[in-house]
Copies of this chain bind each other. A is one copy, B any other.
Amino acid sequence: MASRASVTIEHVAQAAGVSRQTVSRVINKGPNVKPEVRERVEAAIAALGYVPNLSARRMGGGKSYLILAVNDRQRTIENWRAGRGNDWVDQMLHGGITECEKHGYHLIFELIDTDPATAPRQLSNAIAALRPDGVILTPPHSDNEELPVLLAERGIPCARIGRRPGTQFIDVFMDEEEAAAEITARLIALGHMRLAFIAGSPEYGNSTKRLAGFSRALAASGLGEAAGCVAKGNFRFADAAQEIERLLTRADPPTALIAENDEMAFAAMHVADRLGLEVPQQLSIASFEDTPGVRFSVPPLTAIRQPTAEMIAAACSQLIAASAGGPAHGSIKLPYRLVERATTGPAPAPAKRKTG
């Protein structure tokens, strides 16, 4: 029965007939408490509905029970403003909140400027105010070399998402290059001989990795790099549409497109429609992202599903372990999934083929 005024550790101590420190040991699962005393304390906690005040715990020198997850401000806000949504953010919360809850932790999601010149100060301010037990850096912040150092100096463990493993921090990632190579190889296996990669922003390190996978698969197939071309999108519908239209209307157009995000893949579908190209009969389209809407598109989009929630969950659990004395470095590779829906299929029969 929680009383009106908040119940403190002192109330529990009195109710259980022990000192504050003993109660503290019990709630922190410390050693050196006689089982019967522990039970008495736990009974008092339950009876009083006691929940420790996190601010006080922090002030006393303990943990803050807070994980700070940091996202890129510009892109996030731009997506919000445009009504485009941020499924990535939703997925982060999914993994982060679910995992944090399990350990009695709370997730705080914040936005930090992309600009490498202002990011350190902003992060610095956030951790000074919040004193989180760990920080999660997502792209492109995970590619900023200064941020993890700043965190390390202050003794705050840090996890980077979508970053190739280093040795000093906790790196959680999926194999972007392999994913790009797999979808490329799959399209080649379907008979496509001219493929295009619609790139997002080079600011995101993933672009580089995916592009490498695209090239690798092309080379490995024997088709050679000449079979592939790269269009520079910027993750946005309109600009991508323009680039794609240029690609599809040229002399020897690609028969398969790989877009770095769903929005650009949708742009491809609209352009295809305008040009009278049937998907997937005349043009195959695949994406990296797999936001909720893709299942409802007509036809439903083939896409690489990134394990976003799983990566954030893994980051949280590592960070929590680190702040409990575990290692503050390591690397975790999580599997992606290639979800083949209806926008990819066999290449159209060539007008004229030389080889038998």
Contacts and interface: CB of A to CB of B under 8 A. Distances in A.
Interface of A: 2, 4, 6-7, 49-56, 58-59, 64-65, 77, 80, 83-87, 89-91, 93-94, 97-98, 101, 106-111, 121, 124-125, 128-131, 153-154, 266, 290-293, 295-298, 309
Nearest to A292: B85
Among A51, A108, A292, residue most surrounded by chain B Cβ atoms (within 10 Å): A292
A103 to B, nearest CB: 13
A45 to B, nearest CB: 12
Nearest to A296: B266
Nearest to A298: B298
Contacts of A87: 85, 90
B93 A89 contact: yes
Nearest to A309: B80
Contacts of A295: 83
18 contacts: A4-B153, A49-B124, A53-B131, A55-B55, A65-B129, A77-B94, A80-B309, A83-B295, A85-B87, A85-B90, A85-B91, A90-B90, A97-B109, A106-B130, A107-B108, A107-B109, A108-B108, A296-B297
Contacts of A290: 83
A93 B77 contact: no
A297 B295 CA distance: 10
Contacts of A83: 290, 292, 295
B84 A292 contact: yes
Nearest to A7: B128
A100 to B, nearest CB: 10
Given A109-B97, A292-B85, A59 B55 contact: yes
Contacts of A153: 4
Given A89-B93, A110-B97, A6 B292 contact: no
A318 to B, nearest CB: 21
Nearest to A80: B94
A51 B125 contact: yes
Contacts of A121: 49
Contacts of A293: 291-293, 296-297
B89 A111 contact: no
Contacts of A129: 51-54, 65, 106
